[in-house]
Amino acid sequence: MNASSEKGYPFRGYLFDYEGYHDGGIWLETDDQLENFIFLVAPAHMHRGLEVMVTDCWDFAVFHAKNGRVVWPSEEVIDEQPREE
């Protein structure tokens, strides 16, 4: 296993349409690409009430939003994470 796969890279970002389909997703291979997708692309899509998902290289969901709200990670999971100081 290489260092990038230990972090979950490459990630894959999915933007769903109004019928619940996506076009196969886009590769997110760097921290900048992942951050841009989560903080710039996803909110605009979510604002329209559409589904957004990011999966890691093992196809596990690491971010999921539906109906304009984040459903994964849950608030409980986020609260359990150690804070950087």
Could you state, in order of their start, the residue ranges of all structural domains in the chain?
A: 15-61
- Judged on CB neighbours under 10 Å (0-12, 13-18, 19+), 53 is buried
Comparing 44 with 2, the larger pLDDT belongs to 44
Mean pLDDT of 53-82: 84
Comparing 83 with 66, the larger pLDDT belongs to 66
In this structure, what token pair is assigned to residue 70? 């984040």
The CA radius of gyration of the chain, in Å to the nearest whole number, is 13
Which residue blocks in the chain are alpha helix, DSSP H? Answer: 3-6, 31-36, 42-47, 75-80
pTM of the prediction?
0.79
Residue 36 to residue 11: CA distance in whole angstroms: 13
Task: Check residue 73 and give its pLDDT.
Answer: 81
Mean pLDDT of 41-55: 95
**Residue 2: is its pLDDT beyond 50?**
no
